[in-house]
């Protein structure tokens, strides 16, 4: 059996897929995603990370990868058994991808952690505006985690795995870029997620 995840340990969406693989207890190879190569274009038509290749079956989009991993392999279920729990999971998964990630990842993390280290120009005002927007988009997550241990119930699901890398990376930023301040329920959830073996297994620096 061959299972390869293409991505970077520093890519938040790759990190999410790695969390799901770790929680499931599935062994895989992490391979560099050469986004500009013709070979990679054949794997991912939009040239993003991650991509999973399981014995020649190729799937992209982090949530689709996690769902495939959950359904194709033995191990603990990574999504709720009931329809309402799954609805919550997909709701929060979509909210991470469509609202939080554009502000936090594309607005803050990419300019600060990818562009600036390469010497490329960064618009500080735009980054700080994106950080404020990201904090605002985390508000509904903060409210939900006031009444639930994880985003879709008592166990972590894809929604938590999508959010975790964005929170972990944001907490490591300095003010005023840090978009994770003033969110105590998210802080407590982060503590719960951090206790799981998958958290330390997938930390980018540890790969």
Ligand X SMILES: N[C@@H](CCC(=O)N[C@@H](CS)C(=O)NCC(=O)O)C(=O)O
**Which residue number, 35 or 132, has a Cβ lying nearer to ligand X?**
35
Give the C-alpha distances (Å, rounded to integers) separating 151 from 5, 32, 89. Answer: 25, 30, 7
Tokens encoding 127:
């980054």
What sign does the dihedral 39-42-45-49 (CA atoms) show?
negative
Minimum distance, C-beta of residue 147 to ligand X, in the bound complex (Å): 27
Minimum distance, C-beta of residue 48 to ligand X, in the bound complex (Å): 3
**Which residue number, 62 or 134, has a Cβ lying nearer to ligand X?**
62
Give the C-alpha distances (Å, rounded to integers) separating 79 from 87, 99, 117, 156, 162. Answer: 10, 21, 37, 8, 13
Minimum distance, C-beta of residue 27 to ligand X, in the bound complex (Å): 22
What DSSP element (H or E) covers 108? Answer: none
**Which residue number, 53 or 61, has a Cβ lying nearer to ligand X?**
61
The rounded radius of gyration (Å) of the Cα atoms in the chain is 17
Using CB under 6 A as the criterion, which residues of the chain lie in contact with ligand X when the complex forms? Answer: 11-13, 35, 48-49, 61-62, 97
For the chain, helix, strand, coil in percent to 5 are: 60, 10, 30
Minimum distance, C-beta of residue 65 to ligand X, in the bound complex (Å): 7
Compute the distance between CA of residue 33 and CA of residue 39 in angstroms, rounded to an integer. 10
**Strands, sheet with 51-54, edge to edge from the N-terminal-most edge strand:** 29-32, 3-7, 51-54, 57-60
**Which residue number, 45 or 191, has a Cβ lying nearer to ligand X?**
45
Minimum distance, C-beta of residue 202 to ligand X, in the bound complex (Å): 14
**Which residue number, 81 or 92, has a Cβ lying nearer to ligand X?**
92
Minimum distance, C-beta of residue 114 to ligand X, in the bound complex (Å): 8
**Which residue number, 22 or 59, has a Cβ lying nearer to ligand X?**
59
Q: State the virtual CA torsion across 100, 68, 201, 134 in degrees, nearest 10.
A: 0
């Amino acid at each position: 059996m061959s299972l390869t995840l293409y991505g970077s340990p520093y890519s938040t969406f790759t990190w999410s897929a790695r969390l799901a693989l770790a929680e499931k207890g599935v062994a895989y190879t992490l391979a560099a995603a050469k986004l500009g190569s013709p070979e990679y274009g054949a794997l991912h038509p939009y040239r993003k990370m991650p991509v999973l290749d399981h014995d020649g079956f190729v799937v992209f989009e982090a949530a689709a990868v996690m769902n495939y991993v959950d359904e194709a392999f033995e191990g603990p279920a990574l999504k709720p058994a009931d329809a309402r729990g799954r609805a919550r999971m997909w709701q929060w998964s979509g909210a991470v991808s469509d609202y939080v990630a554009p502000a936090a990842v594309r607005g803050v993390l990419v300019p600060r952690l990818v562009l600036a280290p390469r010497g490329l120009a960064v618009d500080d005002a735009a980054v700080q505006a994106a950080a404020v927007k990201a904090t605002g988009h985390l508000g509904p997550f903060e409210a939900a985690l006031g009444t639930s241990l994880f985003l879709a119930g008592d166990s972590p699901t894809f929604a938590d795995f999508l959010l975790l890398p964005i929170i972990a990376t944001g907490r490591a930023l300095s003010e005023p870029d840090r978009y994770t301040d003033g969110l105590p329920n998210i802080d407590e959830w982060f503590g719960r997620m951090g206790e799981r073996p998958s958290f330390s297994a997938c930390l980018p620096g540890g790969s």
